[in-house]
């Protein structure tokens, strides 16, 4: 594919990906306005934003395997955007919990983090996401050099924590968290043969 064709695909694709990633939030806001969000809107908002955080993390991790399978190198140009949207939904997820569920009662929040394993794991995953989001820019990539790849490999662990967080949260039907776990296992397994020769990034 010629450089000009690649640039055109990226230039057109990035706004489209941006809109697609915002669509879940738009749908949630629409349901709130139309009062169709259900009997427990706070729980719905927390769960929905958490679901999309995990989905976007998995989509971000799927970029490299998809690029290798298709040979379309330009796909890697969307990875940072997808990763930042995963962080965006993680922020919404945490904010909904802190504000709408706990009303910023920091004592109760700390007790929750300490006493409830699924919240402990989820909070740990969010904290680990912060440095990845901060260092996602080209400037930080240049400053950190090879250390940037080492740092961003933490995303694998974050995704595992996300699946565990969801699995421990669900009390009855565990189909979705198990499905996400199987998808994550496949994405991680795909990287094993490529690890030594991978020169394009870690996600």
The upper half-sphere exposure of residue 26, i.e. CA atoms within 13 Å in the direction of its Cβ, equals 6
State pLDDT tens for residues 105-159.
999 999 999 999 999 999 999 999 999 999 999 899 999 998 998 999 999 999 9
First to last CA, the chain: 23
Q: Using CA atoms, how far apart are residues 28 and 46, in angstroms rounded to an integer?
A: 11
Question: Long-range contacts: 168-172, Cβ < 8 Å, 24+?
Answer: 168/117, 168/118, 168/121, 169/118, 169/122
Give the residue with greater pLDDT, 5 vs 179: 179
- 198 phi and psi angles, rounded to 5 deg: -70, 120
In angstroms, the Cα distances linking 187 to 61, 63, 124, 153, 160 are 7, 10, 22, 13, 11
**pLDDT > 80? residue 198:** no
- The whole-number average pLDDT for the span 187-197 is 71
- Do the Cβ atoms of 92 and 25 come closer than 8 Å? yes
pLDDT value at residue 159: 97
pLDDT value at residue 118: 96
State pLDDT tens for residues 39-98.
899 999 999 999 999 999 999 999 999 998 998 888 999 999 999 999 999 999 999 999
């Amino acid at each position: 594919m010629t450089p000009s064709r690649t640039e055109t695909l990226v230039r057109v694709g990035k706004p489209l990906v941006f809109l697609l990633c915002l669509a879940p939030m738009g749908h949630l806001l629409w349901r709130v306005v139309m009062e169709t969000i259900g009997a427990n809107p706070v729980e719905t908002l927390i769960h929905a934003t958490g679901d999309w955080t995990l989905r976007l993390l998995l989509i971000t991790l799927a970029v490299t395997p998809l690029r290798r399978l298709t040979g379309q190198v330009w796909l890697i140009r969307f990875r940072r955007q997808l990763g930042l949207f995963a962080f965006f939904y993680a922020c919404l997820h945490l904010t909904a919990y802190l504000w709408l569920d706990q009303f910023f009662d920091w004592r109760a929040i700390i007790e929750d983090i300490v006493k409830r394993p699924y919240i402990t794991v989820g909070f740990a995953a969010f904290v680990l996401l912060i440095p990845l989001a901060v260092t996602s820019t080209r400037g930080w990539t240049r400053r950190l050099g090879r250390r940037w790849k080492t740092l961003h490999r933490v995303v694998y662990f974050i995704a595992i924590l996300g699946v565990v967080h969801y699995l421990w949260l669900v009390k009855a039907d565990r189909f979705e968290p198990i499905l996400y776990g199987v998808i994550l296992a496949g994405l991680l397994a795909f990287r094993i043969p490529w690890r030594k020769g991978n020169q394009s990034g870690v996600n």
